[in-house]
């Protein structure tokens, strides 16, 4: 699939119940959300509102109790466990709060590891060129403990983009960063989202960086409203 064939992420009537018995709660309550290729959508909301659950469903990690989740028209919730895992590996990129890099590997090898594990090698982006794109060429030989928090996030973002994902899911990318670094990291996400035609969903508590996003939606008690 070329990037021009992409249609992005679509959640429709997605409901997720967690826990059991009397402790059962509705973490997502008939959520509808569409994110177009090249669009960066921020999800804000109080603790416990369901933001992480939303990322887990969009990322094909959790199957909803009701509703549909499609990525480029593929019904990921309806796939077998194996098909879902393969789809996740090949088409979805994840970026976490702390970068989640492997301590023993250099910045370049964090990206190379993905290209070695991926089945779609021919299609992958070149690790060195991608590191340069995120402004990290001069740090290619450094390990995570030799990088700043912002630099680790840049490497984490690059690693998530190696396989040319259709969907990029980002959880609190600025939680460990100061104000200036936070802006830089989210500006980078916004730029890469456009250039890579990836549909990006970013959960954040950081209202400072919302100006770089195309759209902001708010989650409260498992329901989504447009902000």
Ligand X SMILES: Nc1ncnc2c1ncn2[C@@H]1O[C@H](COP(=O)(O)OP(=O)(O)OP(=O)(O)O)[C@@H](O)[C@H]1O
Residue 44 found at the interface with ligand X (CB under 6 A): no
Contact criterion met (CB below 8 Å) for 12 and 204:
no
In terms of residues, how long is the chain? 227
Residue 52 found at the interface with ligand X (CB under 6 A): yes
**Contacting residue, 14, 33, 40, 50, with ligand X by CB under 6 A:** 50
Q: Is the dihedral of CA 73, 76, 78, 82 positive or negative?
A: positive
Least Å distance between CB 173 and ligand X?
14
Decide whether 140 or 210 has the Cβ nearer to ligand X.
Answer: 210
Residue 14 found at the interface with ligand X (CB under 6 A): no
Residue 48 found at the interface with ligand X (CB under 6 A): yes
Least Å distance between CB 192 and ligand X?
24
Q: Quick check: helix, strand or coil at residue 88?
A: helix
Least Å distance between CB 51 and ligand X?
3
**Contacting residue, 9, 11, 14, 27, with ligand X by CB under 6 A:** 27
Output the CA–CA distances (angstroms, integers) from residue 153 to 87, 97, 101, in the order listed: 24, 8, 9
Residue 53 found at the interface with ligand X (CB under 6 A): yes
Burial (0-12, 13-18, 19+ Cβ within 10 Å), 35: buried
DSSP 125: P
Per CB under 6 A, the segment of 17-25, 29-37, 113-121, 143-151 that binds ligand X is: 17-25
């Amino acid at each position: 699939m070329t990037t021009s064939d992409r249609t992005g992420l679509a959640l429709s009537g997605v409901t997720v119940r967690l826990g059991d018995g009397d402790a059962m709660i509705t973490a997502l309550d008939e959520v509808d959300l569409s994110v177009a290729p090249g669009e960066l959508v921020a999800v804000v909301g109080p603790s416990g509102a369901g933001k992480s659950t939303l990322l887990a469903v969009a990322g094909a990690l959790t199957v909803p109790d009701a509703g549909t989740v499609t990525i480029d028209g593929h019904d990921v919730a309806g796939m077998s466990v194996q098909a879902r895992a393969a789809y996740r590996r090949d088409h979805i990129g994840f970026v976490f709060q702390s970068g989640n890099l492997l301590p023993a590997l250099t910045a370049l090898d964090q990206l190379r590891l993905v290209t070695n594990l991926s089945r779609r090698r021919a299609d992958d982006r070149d690790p060195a060129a991608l590191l340069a794109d995120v402004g990290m060429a001069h740090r290619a030989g450094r390990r995570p403990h030799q990088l700043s928090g912002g630099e680790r996030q840049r490497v984490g973002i690059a690693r998530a983009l190696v396989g040319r994902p259709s969907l990029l899911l980002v959880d609190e990318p600025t939680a460990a960063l100061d104000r200036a670094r936070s802006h830089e990291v989210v500006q980078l996400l916004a730029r890469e989202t456009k250039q890579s035609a990836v549909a990006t969903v970013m959960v954040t508590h950081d209202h400072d960086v919302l100006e770089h996003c195309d759209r902001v939606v708010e989650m409260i008690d498992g329901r989504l409203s447009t902000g």
